[in-house]
Amino acid sequence: MMNSTSQRVQAVCHDACAIIAQVLTHYPAALTLRETGLVQSVRPGIARVTGLPGVRADELVCFPKAGAEASGEPLLGIAFNLDPEEVGVILLGDSQHLQAGDEVYRTERVVDVPVGDALLGRVVTVMGQPLDERGALDIAERRPVEREAPAILDRAPVTVPLQTGLKVVDALIPIGRGQRELIIGDRQTGKTAIAIDTILNQKDKDVLCIYCAIGQRSAAIAKVIATLREQGAMDYTVVVVAAGQDPLGLQYITPYGATTMAEYFAEQGRDVLIVYDDLTHHARTYRELSLLLRRPPGREAYPGDIFYLHSRLLERATHLSAELGDGSLTALPIIETQAQNISAYIPTNLISITDGQIYLSPDLFQKSIFPAVDVGKSVSRVGGKTQLPAYQTIAGDLRLSYAQFQEVEIFARFGTQLDEQTQQTLERGRRIREVLKQPQSRPLSAAEQIAILMAVTHGQLDAVPLDQIEVAEQRICEGVRRQMPDLCDRIHTGKPFTEGDRDLLLKALQAVMNAP
């Protein structure tokens, strides 16, 4: 019996040795070299480490002990300051469990983000962590957050319009696919509302959207997500969130990571719209990190490379050439001013980087003129070349009439006696201002906008009381959709708007307004 037992033991040992030999054959043992260092000091959002002589700029470093104590995942950071004695690291997570003396090691890679179609319809952090309780992301590819902007020869002219669904923007401050249009104004003047309406208007237009929230309150972000879901816009939208309570490092890299996600779709030949809400918080975050890392402060305590912070981000928005897929990336950065000071440091930087700005006036907002777009201070340096032909027919008359009205209205306040022509200019201008108002989350098609704007510029609404303008607009939209579907299709497809089309539309408008 002892012999049989020993034989079985020998057999088991023999099998085990065979398995070990096989494993060693296929997986030979090898030494892995890893540079390690020690944490010298920790401050909110940053850490100072020593002992990483080969670390590179923007390389990821790992703090295994701090991550294990916090969530089980290692805490990551970006090597930002490469000083001779130490390395300044921007932390990408909660630093509560990190302390002096902890180990840190190099990862020999840069920070990257997930890309792919699996992101559509999801609410995620820039690192790919889902926030919508719909399970983990099925991601097959990751790309670096910092990428070079396309070269000049890789870009094509901006020729296709990006319809916002807002009459005042599409007619007077048009935006093209591949453009960078700044949305600027004081706090609580409707900047985010314009961006969200633009996203809602891209439904069924084959434009993917990315909403990037930077430093916003969680309640405000939740409200935006709820609006997108109610309007059915999440099917073609990705929401990338870095809330105000998130680590400074995440807020810093979020717009770059969101742009990388957008570039993936643009390189597939798709048209993409990205909204940065807002870059004021981003600039302040970068200033705070720079001061903590003891970088020399400049004007308003911002570091010297604050212009490069946003220029390298917005230069990635473009219309790619046909050889690269003919995709486009349109950027709508949002910036907040204080006391209507558009000549402040950060606003002037962004105005010089972008291709125009939509300025929202708090004075118009207080007068219940929504959207509160100040046409005189707003401009689009590219979009006029991309406008649909029908807009070009009415845009000149509309801007001229509105400008004359604003000038005459100032003098009319003095109570002087006005001649008949001046009174007519005032009445026409008041109706134009009323027509340019538009409720939130109710974008209009190009044909509906053209019909309404042509009606007001050609006097079809002169006899309509101001409080009945909205009702008249609804009648016009319904009448044009019902009576002229062919002309609507011609307008949407960008075909030339002839004199015959103009006369036909005016007759239809007159019939609609004269109907009981």
What pLDDT score does 415 carry? 66
pLDDT at 497 over 80: yes
- Across the range 221-235, mean pLDDT stands at 96
What pLDDT score does 3 carry? 62
453: left (phi over 0), alpha (psi -120 to 50) or beta: alpha
What is the rounded average pLDDT for all residues in the chain? Answer: 91
Higher pLDDT, 398 or 358: 358
pLDDT at 381 over 60: yes
What pLDDT score does 97 carry? 87
Q: Percent helix, strand, coil in the chain (nearest 5)?
A: 45, 20, 35
* 120 φ, ψ (degrees, to nearest 5): -60, 130
Q: Please indicate, yes or no, whether residues 65 and 197 belong to a single structural domain of this protein.
A: no
The CATH number linked to 103 is 2.40.30.20
Tens-digit pLDDT profile for residues 434-457: 999 999 999 999 999 999 999 999
Q: Please indicate, yes or no, whether residues 303 and 397 belong to a single structural domain of this protein.
A: no
* 98 φ, ψ (degrees, to nearest 5): -90, 135
Parallel, antiparallel, or unpaired for β 112-115 and 141-144?
antiparallel
Q: Please indicate, yes or no, whether residues 377 and 446 belong to a single structural domain of this protein.
A: no
Question: In 3-state terms, what secondary structure has residue 28?
Answer: coil
Highest mean pLDDT among 60-69, 132-141, 430-439: 430-439
Question: In 3-state terms, what secondary structure has residue 232?
Answer: coil
Q: Please indicate, yes or no, whether residues 178 and 226 belong to a single structural domain of this protein.
A: yes
Higher pLDDT, 306 or 9: 306
- 142 among known catalytic residues: no
Confidence at 1, pLDDT banded by 50, 70, 90: very low
Q: Please indicate, yes or no, whether residues 236 and 330 belong to a single structural domain of this protein.
A: yes
Residue 427 lies in a domain: yes
Residue with tokens 């975050």: 285
Question: In 3-state terms, what secondary structure has residue 391?
Answer: helix
Q: Please indicate, yes or no, whether residues 122 and 51 belong to a single structural domain of this protein.
A: no
Q: Please indicate, yes or no, whether residues 406 and 382 belong to a single structural domain of this protein.
A: no
The CATH number linked to 265 is 3.40.50.300
Dihedral angle over CA of 10, 15, 18, 20, nearest 10: -100
The CATH number linked to 412 is 1.20.150.20
- Across the range 400-404, mean pLDDT stands at 83
pLDDT at 67 over 70: no
Tens-digit pLDDT profile for residues 303-355: 999 999 999 999 999 999 999 999 999 999 999 999 999 999 999 999 999 99
**In whole angstroms, what is the distance from residue 175 CA to residue 165 CA?**
11
C-alpha R_g of the chain: 29
Residue 268 lies in a domain: yes
Which amino acid is it at 53?
Answer: P
Residue 9 lies in a domain: no
* % of the chain exceeding 70 in pLDDT: 95
pLDDT at 292 over 70: yes
pLDDT at 70 over 70: no
- Across the range 411-440, mean pLDDT stands at 86
Structural domain including 101 reads 36-111
- Across the range 203-218, mean pLDDT stands at 96
What pLDDT score does 464 carry? 92
Q: Please indicate, yes or no, whether residues 420 and 380 belong to a single structural domain of this protein.
A: no
Highest mean pLDDT among 138-142, 179-183, 420-424, 453-457: 179-183
Angle, alpha carbons 150-216-62 (nearest 5°): 65
Q: Please indicate, yes or no, whether residues 230 and 280 belong to a single structural domain of this protein.
A: yes
For residue 451, give the nearest of 473, 470, 468, 421 by alpha carbon: 473
Tens-digit pLDDT profile for residues 24-56: 676 666 677 889 999 999 999 999 999 999 999
Residue 23 lies in a domain: no
Q: Please indicate, yes or no, whether residues 373 and 452 belong to a single structural domain of this protein.
A: no
Q: Count H helices and E strands in the chain, helices first.
A: 16, 16
Q: Please indicate, yes or no, whether residues 365 and 241 belong to a single structural domain of this protein.
A: yes
Q: Of 381, 442, 481, 502, which residue is the catalytic one? A: 381
* % of the chain exceeding 90 in pLDDT: 76
What pLDDT score does 80 carry? 95
pLDDT at 66 over 90: no
- Across the range 491-503, mean pLDDT stands at 91
Dihedral angle over CA of 122, 125, 129, 135, nearest 10: -20
Residue 171 lies in a domain: yes
What pLDDT score does 68 carry? 61
**In whole angstroms, what is the distance from residue 50 CA to residue 305 CA?**
25
Beta strands in 92-229 (DSSP E): 103-110, 112-115, 123-124, 141-144, 182-186, 207-214
Residue 348 lies in a domain: no
Length of the chain in terms of residues written = 516
Structural domains in the chain (count)? 3
Sequence-distant (≥ 6) Cβ neighbours of residue 322 within 8 angstroms = 156
HSE, CB side, 13 Å, CA atoms: give it for residue 390: 26
Residue 14 lies in a domain: no
Q: Please indicate, yes or no, whether residues 248 and 324 belong to a single structural domain of this protein.
A: yes
Angle, alpha carbons 416-421-426 (nearest 5°): 70
- Across the range 93-104, mean pLDDT stands at 91
pLDDT at 219 over 80: yes
